[in-house]
Amino acid sequence: MTDNNKHAAIGWNFDNSYEKLPSLLFSKIEPNKVELPELIVLNDEVAKKLGLDAQALQKQSGVEVLAGNTLPEGGSGIAQAYAGHQFGGFTMLGDGRALLIGEQLTPNGERFDLQLKGSGRTPYSRGGDGRAALGPMLREYIISEAMHGLGIPTTRSLAVVTTGEKILRERVLPGAILTRVASSHLRFGTFQYVANWGDLETLRALADYAMKRHYPELAEGDYLGFFRQVMERHAALIAKWQLVGFIHGVMNTDNMTISGESIDYGPCAFMDTFDPSTVFSSIDAQGRYAYKNQPRIGGWNLARFAESLLPLFHEDQKQAVELVQEELYQFEAMHKGYWLSGIRAKLGLFGEEEKDEELVKKLLQIMQEHKADFTNTFRALSMGKLDETDLRDKPGFGAWLETWRARLKRQAKSDAEVQALMQQSNPAIIPRNHRVEAALEAAVEHGNYRVMENLVKVLKNPYAYSTEQEDYCVAPGTEALGYRTYCGT
């Protein structure tokens, strides 16, 4: 069987629309080959969604594609150009260690980018080696699958392969490449790049492309509507993050997608003890991207995105600014609406009452004062096992319970309906940091992938409240203190 026939058997079906945009937006590059690729993880569910044959993908011809050694028929290697505000400072960026090999059209007619992360140097590598270590790639696989299970819009991972190379970071580590699947890799920073180094024609072409790809319901030229839709998706996305205690860790404008999907799982983590000031990222010394700051930073990032679109809103800059300011003023209330709706569901509240927000804030205040575990507090409330909360017998909690129960009695819903809503809204498990680290240590240091496989399995349905999840619900002890995450570059 020829290579083309082998590739056809896998089910590749590329239609690379991004390459039809002005060449300023990308650089075409040849794959950087590796000598000894080995498939470590293959996501059968994602493969099926993409219309790929998982068994055929595991054969050598499939592994060669996942390693970046070859491109299948219709594939084309490009590195995308973009810029971004990183911790507030603006800089030129781009895919410094990633290769977009094509846009896969699924049997359902959906379009997804397939990108190899850790595939080697590109024109945007800025002195880096373009490679990735195994641990961070497995971490992205675990967290992205957990986010998907939680019902949060996210990029996903098709596969992880090791390269046989040694990667020098703080120490020598095994090299790896992750195949990332995204609705697209268009970012706020893509527009910032064009606004700074392109022309109006290119900016318009990019905006038209993004609208057609992600917001086809919009009328042609409705750029203000385009911005409004992106803002709406991020208001909802950040609310979803906070409702499960997720902290992105590096909310730079190059990590904010036009599609509204979560992307880049380097310094991210999930909060154990509830504290709004929680920061995990080793590089976020000032707490810019702390849990409590995520809505504010989301609004700030949207303002930077809006600045890049100003020439499309109106030919008069002053009027363009006035138009977009009216939109931006709505973001805070928009996010709060999504968050309040979600937190009501977490407490089993149907409908709305004026003092619901006060009820919620009082609980969070008590949780913070007594260092309660965020996930397990809501889990215990969902299960009616109040003796299992960190708050049992704590000052103020008994009075809060009485107020909450009185609120529940005022709604015409049965106890079963309340519990069902709560368990649909409160995950029994999250990817606890100590569990993720244990899985990575077993895989990277000992070649044992079973720990990771078991973790990913229970994270696929975090709302199951199953017996096999119970061990994973246990909060960490003192080992969680001072936990830090790293970007993995």
Q: Quick check: is 172 in a domain?
A: yes
Residue-level pLDDT at 3: 56
User: What gap in Å lies between CA 177 and CA 145, rounded to an integer?
Assistant: 17
Same domain, residue pair 56 and 121: yes
Same domain, residue pair 171 and 217: no
Residue-level pLDDT at 4: 56
Alpha-carbon separation of residue 354 from 351, 365, 407 (angstroms):
10, 19, 11
User: What gap in Å lies between CA 369 and CA 457, rounded to an integer?
Assistant: 34
- 390 as an active site residue: the answer is no
Spans of the chain, pLDDT less than 70: 1-8, 479-482, 486-489
Same domain, residue pair 145 and 195: no
- Residue 423 tokens read as 């368990």
Type of residue at 12: W
Task: Examine the fold and report which residue of 294, 310, 339 is the final residue of a domain before the chain moves on.
Answer: 339
Q: Quick check: is 393 in a domain?
A: no
Same domain, residue pair 146 and 209: no
Instruction: Give the count of domains, the chain.
Output: 2
Residue-level pLDDT at 489: 45
Same domain, residue pair 112 and 211: no
Between helix 200-214 and helix 188-197 the angle, nearest 10°, is 160
User: What gap in Å lies between CA 231 and CA 327, rounded to an integer?
Assistant: 9
Listed in sequence order, the residues at least 6 apart from 227 whose beta carbon sits closer than 8 Å to its beta carbon are: 302, 305, 306, 309, 313, 324, 327
Same domain, residue pair 161 and 204: no
Indicate which residue of 254, 272, 284, 390 is catalytic.
Answer: 254
- H-helix or E-strand spanning residue 168: strand 156-168
Alpha-carbon separation of residue 422 from 82, 390, 397, 403 (angstroms):
41, 18, 19, 17
Q: Are 132 and 178 in contact (CB under 8 A)?
A: yes
User: What gap in Å lies between CA 253 and CA 234, rounded to an integer?
Assistant: 12
Q: Quick check: is 409 in a domain?
A: no
Q: Quick check: is 403 in a domain?
A: no
Q: Quick check: is 271 in a domain?
A: yes
Task: Examine the fold and report which residue of 181, 196, 215 is the final residue of a domain before the chain moves on.
Answer: 181
Same domain, residue pair 219 and 125: no
Q: Are 225 and 231 in contact (CB under 8 A)?
A: no
Same domain, residue pair 201 and 169: no
Residue-level pLDDT at 418: 98
Residue-level pLDDT at 6: 61
Closest CA to 81 of 133, 27, 35, 135: 27
Same domain, residue pair 113 and 223: no
Residue-level pLDDT at 329: 97
Q: Quick check: is 255 in a domain?
A: yes
Between helix 397-409 and helix 356-369 the angle, nearest 10°, is 150
Same domain, residue pair 207 and 75: no
Residue-level pLDDT at 481: 64
Q: What are the pLDDT digits (tens) for 73-117?
A: 999 999 999 999 999 999 999 999 999 999 999 999 999 999 999
User: How many of the other CB atoms lie within 10 Å of CB of 204?
Assistant: 15
Residue-level pLDDT at 488: 56
Same domain, residue pair 110 and 207: no
Residue-level pLDDT at 327: 96
Query: What is the domain extent for residue 325?
Result: 188-339
